[in-house]
Amino acid sequence: MPGFELFGEQERKQVNDVLDSGVLMRYGFDGMRNEHWKAKELEAALSEKMQSDHVHLVSSGTAALTVALASAGVGAGDEVIMPTFTFVASFESILALGAIPILVDVDDTLTLDPKAVQQAITPKTRVIMSVHMCGSMANLDALQAICDQHGLLLLEDACQAIGATYSGKPLGSIGDLGCFSFDYVKTITCGEGGAVLTNNEAYYQNAHKYSDHGHDHIGNDRGAETHPFLGYNYRISELNAAVGLAQLSRLDDFISIQKKNYTIMREALSAIEGVQFRSVPDGGEENYSFLSFFLPSEELAKKAQNALGEARVDGCFYWFDNNWHYYRKWEHLTHKKSLGKLPQEVLEALPDYEKADFSASDHWVGRNLSCLIKLGWTEQEVHQRAKTMAEVLQNIIQGA
């Protein structure tokens, strides 16, 4: 991770196809494109690879979340349960539709705690958004059981976890809706891009129309298409899709490299007393994009991150103090900061997160480090990195 580390001839070939045709838009201009339909090809390839009946590409992972929620009719005043540890796009997509983000604690999986989810459900709850952070997943069986019990939708935000599986099925294909991100730092990249996955025909039909100004996409005359409902512009370009098409063909190789590098590093840290690895639910296999582990205390985790940086071990994230990924620094959400007036439903229903108690999340995230697994390391670099990490962590824990 990320896929741009290994850009090569496959990506150049796909992009040159688009440039040679001169058609950069995914819709229309049929006669000019020399039969090159990169977005359609990538959607078909993703559908097969991810064992999902329908895939629709959009401009980003954030767009994918927004379109997925909209496709299921989520709107003003509806509540969407999401974790305290995620990227800000999770609540941005919810608020964009006038819905209410309900933050819920994570557990030792670093994803939604099913017990906390159960306690957060109200008559207004519509969706449980399970975010597969840092390449791994929540207990999806437990979350699905809650959805079945209460008549809720399960949305998988698999933006950081493409290639991971649960009970033999690809993440993103398990819930009612799934979302991927293909931004520049994801395991496979389009530069910018995302995808909505679903087995529900109605949601798919809504998604591809909503993401293109409500166009119905019937026939081959774009100017004659009708608009069954309001939509917006979340289209992907042919250039972005072309890069993604090449990258998807290499996904298995990328995951294999990540797993090899991850395993070397994990084995080096396994012998250190006081290092606890994140929990992966039974039947789950992560995509090995991060090695995530806990130190005995918040203080030691902070010391470890600083010491690893001083030892030139880059890419080890302490999310507890991160501006983008943990609720503690989401002041714009907490203080309802917006360029324009927020919808009344949001102002009235958004919980007061300044007073919320997420100490259960703090217990895990405050002691966590997540170390990026790169594709471009040589075997020597991986072993040296593992050795250095083990020495640093051993010294930090022994000196406590």
Full-model pTM: 0.97
Q: Is 186 assigned a catalytic role? A: yes
Q: Which of these is catalytic: 13, 115, 186, 355?
A: 186
Residues 6+ apart with CB under 8 A from 21: 32, 33, 34, 36
Q: Give Cα separations from 391 to 47, 110, 272 (angstroms).
A: 44, 25, 9
Q: What's the confidence (pLDDT) of residue 400?
A: 72
Q: What integer pLDDT is reported at residue 347 of this predicted model? A: 95
Q: Which residues of the chain have pLDDT under 50?
A: none
CB count within 10 Å of CB 65 equals: 32
Quick one: tokens of 347?
């102002």
Share of the chain above pLDDT 90, in %: 98
- What single-letter DSSP state applies at residue 26? S
Residue 75: what residue type? Answer: G
Return the pLDDT at 317: 97
Reference 326, options 131, 86, 62; nearest CA is 86
pLDDT on residue 1: 80
3-state SS, residue 6: helix
Average pLDDT of the residues of the chain: 97
d(CA 325, CA 143): 22
User: Tens of pLDDT along 5-14?
Assistant: 999 999 999 9
Residue written as token pair 């850009």: 7
| CATH code, residues 252-398 | 3.90.1150.10
The CATH architecture annotation of domain 3-250 reads 3-Layer(aba) Sandwich (3.40)
Residue range 65-76, pLDDT digits in tens: 999 999 999 999
Do the Cβ atoms of 209 and 234 come closer than 8 Å?
A: no
Q: What is the pLDDT of residue 399?
A: 86
> What secondary structure letter does DSSP report for 138?
-
Share of the chain above pLDDT 70, in %: 100
Answer yes or no: are the C-beta atoms of 265 and 289 closer than 8 Å.
no
Query: What local confidence, expressed as pLDDT, does residue 45 receive?
Result: 98
Domain boundaries, the chain: 3-250, 252-398
